[in-house]
Structure 1
Amino acid sequence: MEKIVFVGAGSMAEAVISGICKQGTVTPSNVFVMNRADEARLQLLQNTYGISIVSADKNELSNADLVVLATKPKDVYTAMEQISPLLNERAVVLSVLAGVSMDTIELGLGKHGIARSMPNTSAAIGKSATGIAFNSSMKSIEKQEILALLSSIGIVAEVEEDDLHAVTALSGSGPAYIYYLAEALETAAMRAGIEQPIARDLIIQTIEGAACMLRQTQEEPALLRENVTSPGGTTEAGLRALTSAGFQEAVFSCIEHAEKRSRELGSTEVKESTSSS
């Protein structure tokens, strides 16, 4: 897939653009981006990554091999209405939109090979965790090209489309949960008297080290936790406090509410599309 057009220029679009350009997966001159109105944003992406801005006549869409839908979910119908007449029939569509189904995209853009995915913003450094599903119109070679593209910015797991709601809740939104944990740890460390720069370094290394232990040892998280927890020790005391505060229940609720919201986004978009047609 030589020519890629991003429809939308927000944080997710930038994360993917950054990742594929830094990894050398595509040549920046073959990447184009457009959005609804923010010219300054487009100029920033062009200056930062060496990509191109879609021209006023949007001629680049007619030659696109891959079109990446990266608008806000609420803006996708307007975007699809604008670009649908311009797409060539061989173009493949990759969506990174939360909650918007492949049926909805096919309704808006016509019969194309469509992939619905949920990367996360760690794509910018080649560390995304991406879930993806494909429609029946996707050819095998196109599927492999998209998997290769996304694999260059992290790991990719193919799932059923309905499971993407849970993937969105888990890994799509997941970096924010980790950052929120890091915020809390840093504040707690400073309250305990540790200077902020030292606390930050210790937290980063602790999170990175624990993640590497999970991947490299392939041990169960529960076993790794037990190996750190000496009876009557500091870790046990800390874990007891987390349990008393309802830590696991809070995590369960977090994923449940995020998944529910992903489903609501899709449902809301369908209703809005129906009412406006």
Structure 2
Amino acid sequence: MDKIVFIGAGSMAEAIINGLTKEEKISPEHIHVTNKSDVEQLQQLKKTYNIQIVCEEKKALKEAEIVFLAMKPKDAKDAMIEIAPYLSSSATIISVIAGVTIQTITNYLGSRPIARVMPNTSAAVGLSASAVSWNKLISEEAKLKIINILESIGTVQAVEEEDLHVVTALAGSGPAYIYYFAEHFEAAAISHGLSKEDARQLFIQTMEGAAQMLKKGDVEPQELRRKVTSPGGTTEAGVEQLIQHNVKDAIFACIDAAQNRSREFAKQYE
């Protein structure tokens, strides 16, 4: 069984560890973790998931088949320099660091199989919308293995690395946009007399139902919207306000700004 080492012990590393252990895809004894300085977090992960902590001798790193880079972008360079001497030439790198390209990873860790993954925070509940890209050194067998790992935290799409910028804007940052809508739809409903509890539950169920309708995939979003929008009705009145307030333009601007920032990060960490 593959030995996996996580470099970084934050929320995304924990979400993936949770998925792997919950789905029993990797035995906890084969999962190791280390981070820059937070010993308390390492101990908490060990206690919660029964996984292992990388020892000072870095034995787990030397034997690792898969190494997850899960540190903050600002710590990536120093972390890669530190671990490079310990990695076997065949170790596969899977990076969940936003903005750090495969070429940048290659510069620090050498020519080896490398995958970049853009998950989102819904990984914490096993519902991440993840995208993955890889270099030419990843075998078809390794691709299937990586996809299998990522499916423990949600769905996964294979894309070109260049497309990870827009994936970051759409799916990586997407939960925040949904929460923004939830925050203000809820507040608007409360302002008209609905209780917070009722507003929250109605919004959640509405989102879940709409998502399932989209997931069926047999009807385009525009047509689904038209089916709800009766001429002269309440929905038409509401949609008209969205149009008048240029919500479509705001959405385009949102995605443009987020993917542009992703490109800026890529240049910054080269």
TM-score by length of 2: 0.96
How many angstroms apart in 2 are the aligned matches of 1:219 and 1:187?
Answer: 31
Conserved? CA contact 2:15–2:153, under 8 Å? no
How many angstroms apart in 2 are the aligned matches of 1:29 and 1:181?
Answer: 42
1:221-260 to structure 2, matched below 5 A, reads: 221-260=221-260
Equivalent position amino acid for 1:159 in 2 = V
How many angstroms apart in 2 are the aligned matches of 1:51 and 1:196?
Answer: 40
1:127-206 to structure 2, matched below 5 A, reads: 127-206=127-206
Structure 1 position 45, deviation (Å): 2.0
**2:269 partner SS:** helix
Structure 1 position 32, deviation (Å): 1.3
- State the partner residue of 1:50: 50
- State the partner residue of 1:212: 212
Give the unaligned 5+ runs of structure 2.
Answer: none
Conserved? CA contact 1:18–1:123, under 8 Å? no
- Deviations along 1:92-136, one digit per CA (max 9) or x if unpaired, are 000111111101001111121000110112122221111111101
**Aligned pairs, how many?**
270
**1:156 partner SS:** strand
- State the partner residue of 1:273: none
- State the partner residue of 2:119: 119
Mark the CA change 1:133 to 1:217 in structure 2 (over 3 Å): closer, same or farther: closer
Mark the CA change 1:136 to 1:217 in structure 2 (over 3 Å): closer, same or farther: closer
Give the unaligned 5+ runs of structure 1.
Answer: 271-277
- State the partner residue of 1:70: 70
- Deviations along 1:218-242, one digit per CA (max 9) or x if unpaired, are 3100000110001111111111111
How many percent of aligned residue pairs carry the same amino acid?
A: 50
- State the partner residue of 1:26: 26
TM-score by length of 1: 0.94
Equivalent position amino acid for 1:58 in 2 = K
How many angstroms apart in 1 are the aligned matches of 2:108 and 2:162?
Answer: 20
**1:21 partner SS:** helix
